Amino acid sequence: MEKNPVSFSIKTWADDDKPRRKLMVKGRTGLSDAELLAILIGSGSREDTALSLARKILKNSDDSLTLLGKMSVAKLMKFKGIGEAKAVTIAAAMEIGRRRREETVTELRCIKGSADAFAVLEPVLSELQHEEFWILYLNNANKVIHKSQLSKGGITGTLVDVRLVLKEALELGAVGIILAHNHPSGALKPSEADKAITKKLKKAAEMLDIKVLDHLIVTEKSFFSFADQHLI
């Protein structure tokens, strides 16, 4: 009877095949970040195995999967041995990971404070290189019933349409909303424009008995809460 190929000694495996077979033997948690990335790369080049190429890419990202997730397809293709197909595969895998992380915190999560809101918004906003404005819509139990991107802008700012925010709140039956946008620069201090749009939305929402509960400024590792700082 033919033996299962994964039972052969690892020394007999081809270099590009080792991470795949190791996963079959030890399970996915038994692999390093470089080995998992090597599986996505598939095959190496004349100069590098898939594993050594994966190590080069990770080293360029300071061994951070977060930084790797921010790499564009064009930047990935600058590595010798990474063509468009491999770069797209890596980018897609990083996005699946981000969406999975986002999915785990958005299922009717009850918002008891700014930290809970940040937990919902961090996977969405923290790694972006451009500015986006998002809204969390809450029911009367302070549970998130919907989240939506209101605008997407350049690194200098976004445009916010108050009418769209309130229209969606009414359609959803939301009684509370939390505003959020990111600062790609990493600065947590709110601008005068940030304060102005918060005041404008709060005033308009009050006319419809909808509460603006908070406005979060999100960066990669932290956040600023208008409510915590008594600015709302």
pLDDT digits (tens, 9 = 90+) for 151-184: 887 545 567 889 999 999 999 999 999 999 999 8
Please write down the long-range contacts of 125-130, taking CB distance under 8 Å and 24 or more positions apart. 125/180, 125/181, 125/182, 125/218, 126/182, 126/218, 126/219, 126/220, 126/221, 127/66, 127/69, 127/70, 127/98, 127/220, 128/182, 128/184, 129/70, 129/155, 129/184, 130/154, 130/155, 130/184
Range with the lowest mean pLDDT among 59-68, 109-118, 155-164? 155-164
Antiparallel, parallel or unpaired: β 211-218 and 144-152: unpaired
More confident residue, 197 or 100: 197
- Output the six-digit token pair for 213: 């509960």
Q: Read off the pLDDT of each residue in 10-20 and give the average, rounded to a whole number.
A: 65
Q: Within the chain, where are the H helices? A: 18-26, 33-41, 50-60, 65-70, 73-76, 84-103, 114-125, 162-172, 192-206
* Sequence-separated (6 or more) residues with CB below 8 Å from residue 153: 130, 131, 132, 133, 159
